[in-house]
Each structure stands twice: as C-alpha cells, then as structure tokens.
Amino acid sequence: MDIDLPYLLFWAVAVSGLIIITDILFLKSRREKAAVIGLVAEERTSKNEKTSVAQPKLVEYAYSFFPVLLLVFVLRGFVAEPYQIPSESMVPTLEVGDFILVSKYAYGLRMPVLGTKLLDVDQPKRGEMMVFVPPHDPRYFIKRVIGVPGDRIRYASKSLFVNGKRLSYQFVKEFRDPRFGIKVMEYEELLGVVPHLVHKSPGYEPTQEWIVGEGEYLMMGDNRDRSEDSRSWGMASEENIVGKAVAIWLHKDPGWNLPNFSRNKWFEYEESS
C-alpha cells in the first residue's frame, strides 16, 4: 500500500487530457496544413481528396489511453477500489495476502486525491471495517470501528466497554502461535449486531479510556495484541476516511504462490432479514 495509485492515476489522466486538448486547439490544424502543402507540391492529391494526417506517437498514445485511464480513475475514485492486506493486525478476520474490495461511496462521495466530500451517504458504524489514513502515517490502514462520535470507550483486562457496558465475549478456542510460541485465545466479540472473531494473548495491558469527539473514530485491529491502532496513535479523522471494506475477492499467500479464491466472501455488518 506504499504506492499512491490514485495520485498516479490522477496525473496520468491530467497529462494525457492536456496533450489531447493541446493537439485539438493548436497542433492538429498545423499538421493538416503542412500535409496539404506537401501533397500539393508533390501533385499527389486532388482538391476533393481528404488528406491523411499522421499523429505523433505521444499524441497517439494520449488518445488511446485517456478513455481507459479516465474510466479506471472514476471507478477507483468514486465506486470501489481493491487493496491487499499487508499485516496480521486484522487476523483472524483478514489474513495476510487477502485482497479486499473497498466501497468508496459507502461513507460519502469524495474527490479522489483531494479527499473533499461531495455528498453525504452514510456514517461509519461500530463493528464495520474501515480503510482510512491514520494521523501518523500517509499509508492506508484497515481496522474495525470501535467507537463513533460521542462514545465513551474503555479497554480494560483486554475487554471493551462501550458507554459503560462490557461487550459480549464467547470463547471459541485456544491454540499456540508456532511463530512466537505464545498462547492465543480466540473469542467471538459482539460489537453492533453481527459478531466477529478476535485474538487475545495473556499478559498485562494498561487500562485506557477515551471519549470519541465529533468527526473522530476509535479504531482497533481484531488481532488485539498485534495491532498498531488508536491505542497508540489516537483517533482516525472523518476527513481521512477512504472507504468501507465489503468483501474479500482474492487471496495470495506470500512468496511464489498462485492467487486463489478460497477465502472469497462478503462481510456481514447487519443481520439478515
């Protein structure tokens, strides 16, 4: 996620569009006049015959790629964009190598690159997975929305309390992480209306408490002991929201492995009617 593809697409569209406008306004007529003069001098054309004008390669490429670049830019900027999960902060919900689809309009239409909101659609809700830019890093992060504006959130003994009420936790299983040799406990956590799985490890963590301000969101990873989130860098800002994670559409294990569709699924945030 280090490459700012929307930024690159914006400039690719802008440059190719500028080349096309310049050609239409200034260059095309000059080429046509020069071609007519040359053909008349060589007596290879008649008055009623249309002149064929060869475009410079740069102009030809601009005409060819501009529609495609513009379409991709609009789709990625206003509709949906794919991202690959680079870390274990959202395990077990999201694995390293998952490709997720992010709805760019779920929380409102925004100008690509600039991020200016053009239209309100909906607000992030507790339990949803959101892609955003954190206050300390220009890269995109994905975490789960824990607190929305006005919430009082407390994290004590590795349990979440929302507005004074402890979340419901249902034990699922216990296992040992072979990479680190530590014990991991998996729980089903109910935040909102649809439960999700979280991982916790034994050990002390200081109690923290927050009051979520207007235009702010408290974010945490599902892999609670291996996630850099609001517990360390603070709140996510409404101005830096990218979109809502809606599905896993592809998975590729690290290394020389072929992509597969074994983990494809839509994320559920609301109870089925």
- Whole-angstrom distance, CA of residue 212 vs CA of residue 272: 29
Q: What is the pLDDT of residues 255-273, one digit of tens each?
A: 888 989 999 999 998 754 3
Which part of the chain is CATH 2.10.109.10?
85-266
> Confidence class of residue 27 from pLDDT cuts 50, 70 and 90?
confident
Give me the residues paired with residue 160 across strands.
155
pLDDT at residue 189, as a whole number:
97
pLDDT at residue 45, as a whole number:
46
What does residue 250 show for φ and ψ, rounded to 5 degrees?
-165, 155
Average pLDDT over residues 206-215: 96
Average pLDDT over residues 167-176: 96
Cα–Cα nearest to 105, from 76, 126, 127, 145 = 76
> Confidence class of residue 34 from pLDDT cuts 50, 70 and 90?
low
Q: What is the pLDDT of residues 135-152, one digit of tens each?
A: 999 899 999 999 999 999
- Whole-angstrom distance, CA of residue 256 vs CA of residue 169: 38
Query: 98-103 and 241-251: which strand pairing?
Result: antiparallel
52 among known catalytic residues: no
Q: How many residues does the chain have?
A: 273
Q: What is the dihedral of CA 72, 73, 74, 78, to 10 degrees?
A: 110
pLDDT at residue 74, as a whole number:
75
Least reliable range by pLDDT among 1-5, 218-222, 227-231:
1-5
Average pLDDT over residues 171-182: 88
Average pLDDT over residues 47-69: 72
89 among known catalytic residues: yes
Q: What is the pLDDT of residues 235-255, one digit of tens each?
A: 999 999 999 999 999 999 988
Residue of 16, 64, 87, 89 marked active site: 89
85-266 has which fold? Umud Fragment, subunit A (2.10.109)
How many C-beta neighbours within 10 Å does residue 52 have? 9
pLDDT at residue 273, as a whole number:
37
Residue of 16, 33, 57, 143 marked active site: 143
Cα–Cα nearest to 217, from 123, 81, 106 = 123
Cα–Cα nearest to 204, from 244, 157, 150 = 157
Average pLDDT over residues 23-29: 79
For residue 16, pLDDT over 70 is answered with yes
Q: What is the value of pTM for the model shown?
A: 0.79
